[in-house]
Amino acid sequence: MRRTVLILLFISIALVSLSAGGEKESMFIGVSVYRFDDAFIGEIRDHLERLSDGDIPIVIRNPENSQNKQNEQIAGFIEEGASAIIVNPVDRTASGVIIEKCRKAGIPLVFFNREPLADDMARWNEVYYVGARAEAAGRFAARIFIDYWEDHPEADRNGDGKLQFVIIKGEPGHQDTELRSEYLMKTLAEAGISLDRLDEESGMWERGKAESLMTQFLITYGDSIEAVFSNNDEMALGAIDALEKAGYFTSGRYMPVIGCDAIPEAYDALSDGTLLGTVLNDAENQAKAIYNIAKELAEGRTPSESAIGFPITDERYVWIPYTMVLQSGDSEYNH
Ligand code: BGC
Ligand code: CA
């Protein structure tokens, strides 16, 4: 009799530990990023894969730039019992719906790169945001240009004392489009540069679209363009493609082009001398903050600065600093 009890006890302990172990193993973090063919977001994805290796696994899905699909994916993660969900929203103003769904299911959320509206962030305390201050990116882009303009009087091609320029903007409504552009302009003006904006259009963050836009700008404004500012590197590279086809960057024909992100291809353009400068949008540290916050939440803890490795502002925001990256390859802040 005693033996049977002991055996039964042993079996039940074994079963309990098995199921606990099984539960831990089946734990996962769901990730949905707005589209897979975005170079900068691709970098964050790679870092997330690497960070999750040997830790809580992640399942990454691609809604292909459709908010409906993304909502379905999040519902799917909830059904499948994700321990936390990471979202790079297709439309940041749709975040409220996502937050409500996760709040009801009790599954914590980490947004990144596309900042939900403050009112939506306030709906629940298990929602975090990881991003970078777009204003700073605008200011850094301006500083790169100001140095160039001051050192190169010939950059004012028509000698009218004004800067004739075009801006290739990111997706409308994205905080990085609006704020980078606004602070770029403000900082140029504060430095005493008289601005003559010839044109601005959205290239939707895409290289191909930016190339077509730049081709169009060259047809319309020709050599009167004195500088090209782009809200990201992909589009700066697209503009450079168009400029090269139009004969720039050979036989002394130059155009200052400034981007943002410091994606690997941008470093090549910096050393070729086609890109004047860019601003590091630190994918690696953003990914670290995102993953560490999601992991803490998934394991039932409130993320703290010491656990995630980054300071937390306003209780649920982590801001990763931008860094200026110049043609010499030197980063001003030695990051
Ligand atoms: C990056 C862009 C990217 C966009 C996606 C921005 O922060 O600079 O390259 O396309 O985020 O949301
Ligand atoms: Ca001029």
- Domains along the chain with CATH numbers: 2-132+282-320 (3.40.50.2300), 135-280 (3.40.50.2300)
Give the pLDDT confidence score for residue 26 in this predicted structure: 84
Number of other CB atoms surrounding residue 141 within 10 Å: 28
Would you say the CB of residue 261 lies under 6 angstroms from ligand 1?
yes
What's residue 206's pLDDT? 98
Q: What is the pLDDT of residue 2?
A: 54
* Ligand found nearest the CA of 226: 2
Residue of 32, 37, 40 to test ligand 1 pocket, by largest number of atoms within 8 Å of CB: 40
Q: How far apart are CA 105 and CA 60, in angstroms?
A: 20
Per DSSP (E only), the strands in the chain are 29-33, 58-61, 84-88, 109-112, 127-131, 162-169, 194-202, 227-230, 257-258, 277-280, 317-319, 323-326
CA of 40, nearest ligand number = 1
- Contact 260 CB / ligand 1 (< 6 Å): yes
For residue range 267-302, list pLDDT tens digits in order: 999 999 999 999 999 999 999 999 999 999 999 999
The side-by-side arrangement of strands in the sheet containing 227-230 is 194-202, 162-169, 227-230, 257-258, 277-280, 323-326
Angstrom distance (rounded) from CA 317 to CA 296: 15
* Tens digit of each residue's pLDDT (9 = 90 or more) over 76-85: 999 999 999 9
Find out whether 40 and 13 touch, Cβ atoms under 8 Å. no
Sites in the chain below the pLDDT cut of 50 = 9, 13-22, 329-335
Q: How far is the CA of 301 from the centre of ligand 1 (A)?
A: 30
234/37 Cα distance (integer angstroms)? 11
Is the CB of residue 43 below 6 angstroms from any atom belonging to ligand 1?
no
Q: Please, are residues 215 and 242 in contact by the beta-carbon 8 Å criterion?
A: yes
Find the 14 Cα to ligand 1 centroid distance in Å.
49
For residue 13, the model assigns a pLDDT of 47
CB of 134 shorter than 6 A to ligand 1: no
